[in-house]
Amino acid sequence: MNFLFDVDGTLTPSRQRMNYSFKLRFIEWIKKQQDSGNKVFFVTGSDKDKTVAQVGKDLWVLVDGSYQNCGNQLYKNGSLVKQSQWKMSSSLYSDICSLLKNSIWHGRAGKNIEERVGMVNISTVGREASIQLRKEYFEWDNKKGERQRIVSSLSSKYPELGFAVGGEISIDVYPKGKDKSQVLDDMIGESVFLGDRCEEGGNDFSIAEKSNKKYHIEDWKEMDSLLGKLEGLGNPNLYSYDFQNSFVEWDNGRMAYFFWGEDAAAMPIGSFSTREEAVLKREEYCDWFYSHKSPRGDWDTNEE
Ligand SMILES: [Mg+2]
């Protein structure tokens, strides 16, 4: 099982740091999931520096991967694994400039157009706006629908592009399909997505719809109380699984996994250079499992 978490607005208040006592509980929860073979990922629209500032480096490297810039960049254990090469065209740039210039919104701060890896983030009020100004814009935009209007105007001229209204003040622009949902292509087994903008037009919408299960939450406090309920999901009773009928799949050609049962839970069993080797290891694991009657134990160390 993969747990995919949006960060801003889901684990933290918008643009602010994570609540510390929630962070401690979340870390415990992640470790429990990882111990039972589940994986935990961040899938955020922000870049690496913003996410690290919000959740702290310790938590950022603890998760199994952090997808920054809407899945256009993947970090694992603090190292960059892959990233998109897309850049916005000059005609798109000038259209965005004139839309922002013609807005009737009153309070302007800097950083209205921010180029990120694989996408561009645009904001009438500007990303340097104070918390107060953001709040005012958010409320104004909810009434006036400015961001939706900007999206309609740009999407008719650029059908090859996708748009998402994210956070309180901005819009993400990217090549169609290259939104948060692209990370699902990397996942093995079922995925649960948790985010605060899962509604149509929100920046979590596409990934939430395509995941096997979604949780649309209001804020980190709701997330905090949800964690307790999620535990059952991540701890399948391994005794009930039929290992002999499981099969082996590959993660980037290196890691082998067992899949089994209707839950399609996945458990890493080690790194092998060939599929045959992994299948052989599965037979050994079955023997070991049924003779020890233990769900996991230290299989790797016991076997070698
Ligand atoms: Mg969010």
pLDDT (tens digit per residue) in 1-45: 999 999 999 999 988 999 988 999 999 999 989 998 999 999 998
Cα 281 to chain centroid distance, Å, stands at: 32
**Among 43-47, 89-93, 176-180, 290-294, which stretch is predicted with the lowest mean pLDDT?**
290-294
Between 3.40.50.2300, 3.30.1240.20, 2.40.40.20, 2.60.40.10, what CATH number should domain 90-175 receive? 3.30.1240.20
Q: How far is the CA of 50 from the centre of ligand 1 (A)?
A: 13
Is 50 exceeded by the pLDDT of residue 59? Answer: yes
pLDDT at 111: 86
What is the average per-residue pLDDT within 236-241? 37
The 10 Å Cβ neighbour count of residue 3 is 23
pLDDT, greater one: 154 or 240: 154
pLDDT at 303: 34
Q: How far is the CA of 184 from the centre of ligand 1 (A)?
A: 17
Residue 5 and residue 214 in contact, taking contact as beta carbons nearer than 8 Å: no
Tokens coding 211: 């995941």
Parts of the chain belonging to CATH 3.30.1240.20: 90-175
8 carries an active-site annotation: yes
pLDDT digits (tens, 9 = 90+) for 117-163: 999 999 999 988 998 999 999 999 999 999 999 999 999 999 999 98
pLDDT at 107: 82
Q: How far is the CA of 273 from the centre of ligand 1 (A)?
A: 39
Which range scores top for mean pLDDT: 193-202, 246-255, 267-276? 193-202
Residue 263 and residue 238 in contact, taking contact as beta carbons nearer than 8 Å: no
DSSP secondary structure letter of residue 196: S
Is 80 exceeded by the pLDDT of residue 259? Answer: no
Instruction: Spell out a b/e string for 218-234, using b for 16 or more CB atoms within 10 Å of the CB, else e.
Output: eebeebbeebeebeeeb
d(CA 56, CA 20): 10
**Among 29-38, 59-68, 131-140, 279-288, which stretch is predicted with the lowest mean pLDDT?**
279-288
Fold held by 2-84+178-233: Rossmann fold (3.40.50)
Is 70 exceeded by the pLDDT of residue 257? Answer: no
Mean residue pLDDT of the chain comes to 82
Task: Determine what percent of the chain is predicted with pLDDT higher than 70.
Answer: 76
d(CA 56, CA 241): 37
Catalytic residue among 6, 172, 179, 204: 6
Q: How far is the CA of 104 from the centre of ligand 1 (A)?
A: 26
Q: How far is the CA of 95 from the centre of ligand 1 (A)?
A: 26
Using DSSP's 3-state secondary structure scheme, residue 138 falls into: helix
**pLDDT bracket for residue 225 (50, 70, 90):** confident
Q: How far is the CA of 18 from the centre of ligand 1 (A)?
A: 13
**pLDDT bracket for residue 263 (50, 70, 90):** very low
Residue 80 backbone phi and psi in degrees, to 5 = -70, 125
What is the average per-residue pLDDT within 71-79? 96
pLDDT at 168: 86
Parts of the chain belonging to CATH 3.40.50.1000: 2-84+178-233
- Distant-in-sequence, close-in-space partners of 88: CB < 8 Å, separation ≥ 6: 115, 120, 173
Is 90 exceeded by the pLDDT of residue 110? Answer: no
What is the average per-residue pLDDT within 196-224? 90
Q: Which helix (H) or strand (E) holds 49?
A: helix 48-55
300 carries an active-site annotation: no
